Structure 1
Amino acid sequence: MDKFIVSARKYRPQNFSTVVGQAHITTTLKNAIKNNQLAHAFLFCGPRGVGKTTCARILAKTINCENQTKDGEACNTCHSCVSFDAGTSLNIHELDAASNNSVDDIRSLVEQVRFAPQAGKYKVYIVDEVHMLSASAFNAFLKTLEEPPPYAIFILATTEKHKILPTILSRCQIFDFKRITNNDTVEHLQEICDKEEIKADKAALHIIAQKSEGCMRDSLSILDKIVSFTNGQLTYSNTLEHLNILDEDYYFKFLDFMQQQNMSDAMLLYDEINRKGFEGDTVLEGFAEFIRNILVSKDAKAAILLEVAEDFKQKYLQAAQKINGGWLIGALNLLNEAEINYKQARNKRLLVELTIIKLSYLQQAIELVNNDGVVSKKKVVEATKPVAFRAVPIIRVKEEMQAATQKPQAVKPQEAKLIIEEPEVKTTAKRPAAVTQQSTEIPQPKTGGIASLAKIRQQVTEQNKNTGVVAKELTEEELYVAWGIFIERLISRKNHSAVTNFKMATLKIIDNNTIEIVTENNIQQKFIEQERADLVEHLQTHFCNRQLVYTVIIIEKEYDYQPSEKTLTSKEQYLKIIEEYPLVKELKDRLKLELDY
């Protein structure tokens, strides 16, 4: 039985023309060989599995070929090419810098460079994973790399170009390899399947190409595994099963449920996926990629970025026309946030389910608006209507004051004048030092008319005469006594926040029926206003005066903030010193001192 050789080695390209997806590299190298313009050092950099080492070997074989073709390719029949393919050529030396990264290994390589080739034109030294060399090894390699013998050519290969010293980069011709596209990978896999007589669906090969992420070696390894798993029958379903990838039909179902705000079916679908063994992060990543493809499909120009099987392209394009762009952007944000938080979450299933719930109701949560050509996301909230207050007219009773003072008799209804005024908006009066004024009047009892109002006043007057109640004189001393009694009442109710603010207030008497309460800020004013009903009742009862009103004003204190002493830095200290003592700078300049700030 023949020994099995993996496809990555069995079908490794032997000529520039068979290299997949790197036409810009192979064309340049062939032209350099034909025109005899070879550099003495090359640097091949790019992702893994894209052909860096393969191109280095093909270049080494081609420049030593005895019968080169007109296109600059190796003949693969001469003694040099045959010995190279068999691995017995003495003109090529490969060094794995990952395991031979010391300065001694580089010194040994430099000593070998002194010897000219016994057969062939060039001795080629391929240093793979060159970024793994130590700094001392790089330094030992510099002189030889800059001025090698005319028969020596160095080819350095790396996946991490940024780790190489700039002095090395400046001595090499740099070739950047790119990722292999999905279409190129699918075509190459199809050629191998035809040679190996393997039956493979185009959609299955496309899934393999997507999974490899532009790495040809990975795609060939995946192909070998699935061929062994399926006995040479590659179908879309068994490829998904082997690679642990969710079918895109699941994502289309998710999309339909979420557009219909059918949360229960979406949750049941996730439960079905979870029972099949798929982890939550797989669902989140796959659905995010699915939403990205839908978003790309909305624009005909961007549809070329859609990297899916041909069978699904039309389905994506149809779905994209039905979905709102704002919903897609919001869904991508939610999925991205869920992926970030997935590793830290203790209950991972709950996190995924919560994301599904948010996506199910996302359509009524956001919308995309266009403000002067700028597209932004706007939250949609239920329209809230302000409470409708009915405008109550202000009723004033204007009496003949002179008649009232001259004749102490009750005012007759026909002598009173009724004036109804519409409510007016009063602006806040400005007092010195930023004064804000808000007045609160004692609500008068509601009456049916002027006759009933006069009658109530007369009854109250007679009742006070009968009980002997006499109104107390409104003095500042008595006012503070009443204020202290009310504070004691607040203390008994354990309303300590209000107590503090009441104690900080200042009281003033405007006239016999008006009190002014001065506060320092809005917070004190609000605490006093919260006790308005009890405070009014208490003051009126204490002074036996139902006409008593109070006004709350705010006078903000102007604080004189003293700036704290700032700690000076060394440079600021120096600048301060030379400002006061200029000779210090002169001394520094004469001694040619350099200060380290």
Structure 2
Amino acid sequence: MSGYQVLSRRYRPQIFKEVIGQESIVTTLKNAIKFKRIANAYLFSGSRGTGKTTLARIFAKAINCPNLNDEFEPCNTCSSCKEIASGNSLDVLEIDGASHRGIDDVRDINETVGYTASRGGYKIYIIDEVHMLTKEAFNALLKTLEEPPEKVKFFFATTEPQKVLPTIISRCQRFNLKRIPLDKIVYKLKMMTSSLGIQAESEALSMVAKRAEGGLRDAESLLDQVISFHEGDITKQAVSEVLGIMNTECLYAFDKAGKEGSFDYAFELAHELFSGGKDALHFIDMLVHHFRNILLVKIASKDSFHIDIPQEEKEALLLSASFYSKEQCLDILDYLVQEQNEIKNRPSLRVAIETILLHIMRTHQRLPIEVLVRRLVELEVEMNKIDVSAKSENKIKDERENLKTLLEVETKESDKKIDAKIAEVIKEKAPLPSIEIKETVIDLFMEPEPKTPPLSYSEPDFLKANPSKPIKAKEDVVLNPPYFYDTLLQFAAVELKGKMQRIHNQN
């Protein structure tokens, strides 16, 4: 039991070739060795688990190894490489910046830099979490950092480079390590499970890699946890139980249910989430990333379909993307990001999740604003083609009442205004004019240049015009209030009321 090593240490890279996801930095470090252009100090910054300290150790081994090969990789067999790998080297000193952060600790470094390396190579100070050093400690290190002895090098690692003094950064070669891509994390996990003789489903390893969020060490720790919990093959079900995360299939099923109007699936999904003891906040994160990926599909061409998901999920994602418009995705993302900040304060987390799911499902049945504006414009054109003389006075009054109901206008001023319009039409036998509300809505939501192409949208089936009766279909769409947003109607009513009030005051 005492000899067990966690996977993150057991499979830690020992040569440059084993480092994944940081190819440009590896190439730069190798070229520095090849052309003998090794700087005084290096700063490795990036999120956790991306290889900062690992790269510093490999680089330290490489510049001190007497048996470098043609690819400038350390041999890992000489005494220098072995001592550095085990942390027992007298020439490579690793210092924890969080526990040795004061000016006295830096003074100790300044006093020992003058001593030569025991093996005649480089004397290297690796300071992890260097941002934890105090301002005084940084200032005490400045002079030594700028003009160290010839065989002394400093390697710094930090997750928060913004906290490092600019005077320190200016004396270092800085490398920003990026998050490890999902497919490379999965590849490393497959290699580890294969080495351990464990069968693992690709989807299960993908779930682990997604939860790690670009940190390889996090993924290795999560895999270690799954292996400890579950005997035998690693399946999606096992990963879901151990890590408390939902299967991605539920998201694609949710998309289909929303398109079909099966609102009961929102409650089924919430029940599965809470009865299984899953992480509700992580589920919200899954929704955010899911609709982000859908939006990428909608705005990118198929040739540039570069989304960080497993290959086997891309077909399902493409199908889900066909259920949404770009405007829907943008609205859903805005809503989810807002809910991420507020959901922790909700009295009932379960009700909050159900509300979020129902809200997303309802977007399939809502009329986009650009569709509303277009329909209003089309209605105005069609109504101007109708001969008023063929209409009875009662018909015009009925239309007036329909418009009034649609706009939810109850003020006397608006009644007088609409009556005046109708009286004018009857008197002059002229085409039916546009109502002020249409002008208000169009002014608010239409693009300023009429030649600007309209936004793309996906119309619900009930909005498709009937070819045989186009005018009636358009009248049905606009004059029937249930098809419109309640919020937009209220907003339009307020705008109309204000405009009528201004006209009244002027008169």
**Alignment match, 1:582:** none
**Alignment match, 1:277:** 277
Specify the SS of the correspondent of 1:4.
coil
Normalized per residue, the structure richer in strand is 1
Letter in 1 for 2:301: A
> Structure 1 pair 2/273, CA: closer, same or farther in 2 (3 Å)?
closer
Unaligned runs of 5+ in 1: 373-382, 394-420, 425-521, 527-552, 557-597
Look at both structures and tell me which one has the larger radius of gyration over its CA atoms: 1
**Alignment match, 1:334:** 335
**Alignment match, 1:267:** 267
Deviation at 1:223, TM superposition (A): 0.9
Measured in 2, the distance between the counterparts of 1:56 and 1:294 equals: 39
Deviation at 1:141, TM superposition (A): 0.5
Higher RCO, Cα 8 Å, sep 6+: 2
Match of 2:403 among 351, 362, 385: 385
Q: How does 1:252-263 map to 2 (within 5 A)?
A: 252-263=252-263
State whether residues 255 and 320 of structure 2, in contact with CA within 8 Å, keep that contact through their aligned partners in structure 1.
no
TM-score scaled to structure 2, two decimals?
0.71
Deviation at 1:386, TM superposition (A): 3.9
**Alignment match, 1:129:** 129
**Alignment match, 1:401:** none
**Alignment match, 1:354:** 355
Specify the SS of the correspondent of 2:124.
strand
> Structure 1 pair 180/356, CA: closer, same or farther in 2 (3 Å)?
closer
Deviation at 1:326, TM superposition (A): 2.8
State whether residues 296 and 303 of structure 1, in contact with CA within 8 Å, keep that contact through their aligned partners in structure 2.
no
Specify the SS of the correspondent of 1:44.
strand
Deviation at 1:227, TM superposition (A): 0.9
Measured in 2, the distance between the counterparts of 1:392 and 1:72 equals: 88
State whether residues 20 and 184 of structure 1, in contact with CA within 8 Å, keep that contact through their aligned partners in structure 2.
yes
State whether residues 50 and 177 of structure 2, in contact with CA within 8 Å, keep that contact through their aligned partners in structure 1.
yes
Letter in 2 for 1:42: Y
Measured in 2, the distance between the counterparts of 1:284 and 1:56 equals: 37
Unaligned runs of 5+ in 2: 374-400, 406-417, 430-496
RMSD over equivalenced CA pairs, Å = 3.2
Measured in 2, the distance between the counterparts of 1:199 and 1:330 equals: 42
> Structure 1 pair 86/158, CA: closer, same or farther in 2 (3 Å)?
closer
Deviation at 1:297, TM superposition (A): 2.6
Deviates more, 1:28-37 or 1:299-308: 299-308
Specify the SS of the correspondent of 2:370.
strand
Deviation at 1:322, TM superposition (A): 3.6
> Structure 1 pair 231/147, CA: closer, same or farther in 2 (3 Å)?
same
User: Is the aligned partner of 1:154 residue 2:154?
Assistant: yes
Deviation at 1:306, TM superposition (A): 2.4
Letter in 2 for 1:313: K
Deviation at 1:384, TM superposition (A): 5.0
> Structure 1 pair 367/68, CA: closer, same or farther in 2 (3 Å)?
same
State whether residues 129 and 159 of structure 1, in contact with CA within 8 Å, keep that contact through their aligned partners in structure 2.
yes
Q: How does 1:444-483 map to 2 (within 5 A)?
A: none
Q: How does 1:275-424 map to 2 (within 5 A)?
A: 275-278=275-278, 280-298=280-298, 299-301=300-302, 304-367=305-368, 369=370, 384-386=402-404
State whether residues 94 and 128 of structure 1, in contact with CA within 8 Å, keep that contact through their aligned partners in structure 2.
yes
Deviation at 1:180, TM superposition (A): 0.9
**Alignment match, 2:49:** 49
State whether residues 106 and 140 of structure 2, in contact with CA within 8 Å, keep that contact through their aligned partners in structure 1.
yes
Question: 1:457-494 CA distances to partner (integer Å, 9 max, x unpaired)?
Answer: xxxxxxxxxxxxxxxxxxxxxxxxxxxxxxxxxxxxxx
Q: How does 1:56-71 map to 2 (within 5 A)?
A: 56-71=56-71
> Structure 1 pair 19/327, CA: closer, same or farther in 2 (3 Å)?
same
Amino-acid identity (%): 36
**Alignment match, 2:78:** 78
Deviation at 1:283, TM superposition (A): 3.6
State whether residues 326 and 368 of structure 1, in contact with CA within 8 Å, keep that contact through their aligned partners in structure 2.
no
User: Is the aligned partner of 1:229 residue 2:216?
Assistant: no
TM-score scaled to structure 1, two decimals?
0.61
Letter in 1 for 2:273: I
Question: 1:42-70 CA distances to partner (integer Å, 9 max, x unpaired)?
Answer: 11111111111111111111111122212
State whether residues 63 and 122 of structure 1, in contact with CA within 8 Å, keep that contact through their aligned partners in structure 2.
yes
**Alignment match, 1:102:** 102
State whether residues 236 and 247 of structure 2, in contact with CA within 8 Å, keep that contact through their aligned partners in structure 1.
no
State whether residues 203 and 310 of structure 1, in contact with CA within 8 Å, keep that contact through their aligned partners in structure 2.
no
State whether residues 44 and 157 of structure 1, in contact with CA within 8 Å, keep that contact through their aligned partners in structure 2.
yes
Specify the SS of the correspondent of 2:403.
coil
Q: How many correspondences in the alignment? A: 396
**Alignment match, 1:572:** none
Normalized per residue, the structure richer in helix is 2
Measured in 2, the distance between the counterparts of 1:149 and 1:554 equals: 85
Deviation at 1:300, TM superposition (A): 3.1
Letter in 2 for 1:144: T
Measured in 2, the distance between the counterparts of 1:554 and 1:161 equals: 61
Measured in 2, the distance between the counterparts of 1:76 and 1:254 equals: 52
Specify the SS of the correspondent of 1:88.
coil
**Alignment match, 1:549:** none
> Structure 1 pair 9/369, CA: closer, same or farther in 2 (3 Å)?
same
